[in-house]
Amino acid sequence: MRIRKGFAFQQLQSAMTETRRTPNFSIDSARFDAPPLEPGLYIVATPIGHLDDITLRALKTLASAEVVYCEDTRVTRVLLDRYGIRTKTSSYHEHNAVKQRPRILERLAAGEAIALVSDAGTPLVSDPGFRLVEEVAAAGHRVVPIPGASALTASLMAAGLPTDTVVFLGFLPSKSGPRRRRLETFSRQPASLVFYESPNRLAQALVEAAEMCGPDRPAAVCRELTKRFETVTRGPLAALCDAYPTDTRIKGEIAVVIAPPPEQETASEADAEDLLKAALARLPAGKAAAEVARITGRDRQELFRLALSLKDVPPAGGDGAA
């Protein structure tokens, strides 16, 4: 009896060792071994909605890592269970990052391979994880990107707008004033603008985008990309304002894409000066410069300096002495 128990224990111990030595994952009913990883921090993109939107390399990495750090362990566990991955998880988010970063650095120094994921999509895209990468790289450890799904790229794919030059604004400020200023700052950039927005602020953000960028600017609202109720609404910003009125309740994850401004010849310096003089008759220098920048496409700071000179006010920091 003792021999049988001892033999059973040895078999169990051997099986546990084999499990640790050969991590694996499953796709449908097929199971695959995952090769070991070199030590380092692996930044792993995960699906933004549809769980099939994950790469084989991501599955191998998640299966072989010593631990997967994630925003919400419950969310990530759904994905890991879907593919039969038994790797341990630990939380890493904005509220515990300061405490967790030294622990992660200790594990990397001990030669471990660690994976970092966000709840959905690509970590570090509109995500505070860059501080971890900064410290890991500064400590001399490997940082390995495992690319994949991203709401940013998915929205550009679906919008049908120019993608040769793109400016990503992340989440716009929650308050109207800062949000308007941010949109105004980038409204004349010769690039498509992409930003994320919450459902309860979408309607007001579209109204302000139409005011700052122009009501005729082509745009697209991409909602619930890759999910069951995916919708992409395209049209001028004015039409999108009508499609999403302020009294409409909507749900889901949203990305907005706005086309570049129409090509136009940059106003000459003489034209800009004439416009500034007219604007300065009714506006302070900063607002006059912003207005002429929208009209002409010229640099706002350059116009502000010109406005100050036209008003005979020395710029801040100048000697201004007689």
* SS3 readout for 28-42: CCEEEECCCCCCEEE
Question: Has residue 319 been placed in a domain?
Answer: no
125 and 161 share one domain:
no
Percent residues over pLDDT 90 in the chain = 68
102 and 83 share one domain:
yes
pLDDT for residue 3: 45
Q: Which residues pair with 145 in a beta bridge?
A: 43
Tell which phi-psi region holds residue 160, choosing left (phi > 0), alpha (psi between -120 and 50) or beta.
Answer: left
Question: Has residue 11 been placed in a domain?
Answer: no
157 and 139 share one domain:
no
- Over range 260-287, report the average pLDDT: 78
274 and 244 share one domain:
no
Question: Has residue 105 been placed in a domain?
Answer: yes
169 and 250 share one domain:
yes
The model's pTM is: 0.76
Question: Has residue 5 been placed in a domain?
Answer: no
CB 46 within 8 A of CB 117: yes
- Last residue of a domain, which of 220, 236, 258? 258
- Last residue of a domain, which of 216, 233, 258? 258
Total domain count, the chain: 3
CA distance 262 to 288: 22
Instruction: Tell me which of 89-93, 139-143, 313-317 is least confident.
Output: 313-317
- Over range 102-126, report the average pLDDT: 95
Which 3 state secondary structure label does DSSP give 261? Answer: coil
Question: Has residue 65 been placed in a domain?
Answer: yes
- Last residue of a domain, which of 104, 122, 149? 149
278 and 251 share one domain:
no
Q: Assign 3-class secondary structure to 95-157.
A: CCHHHHHHHHHHHHHCCCEEEECCCCECCCCCCCCHHHHHHHHHCCCCEEEECCCCHHHHHHH
Question: Has residue 8 been placed in a domain?
Answer: no
Domain CATH number, residue 27 = 3.40.1010.10
250 and 219 share one domain:
yes
66 and 163 share one domain:
no
Question: Has residue 300 been placed in a domain?
Answer: yes
- pLDDT tens digit string along 149-201? 999 999 999 999 999 999 999 999 999 999 999 998 899 888 999 999 999 99
Q: Which domain holds residue 104?
A: 20-149
- Over range 205-219, report the average pLDDT: 95
Give the number of other Cβ atoms within 10 Å of residue 178's Cβ: 11
138 and 202 share one domain:
no
CA distance 309 to 322: 16
Higher pLDDT, 318 or 30: 30
128 and 28 share one domain:
yes
Instruction: Tell me which of 3-17, 88-102, 143-157, 190-204 is least confident.
Output: 3-17
168 and 250 share one domain:
yes
- Over range 101-106, report the average pLDDT: 97
118 and 165 share one domain:
no
Question: Has residue 24 been placed in a domain?
Answer: yes
Question: Could you tell me the two tokens for 214?
Answer: 């122009």
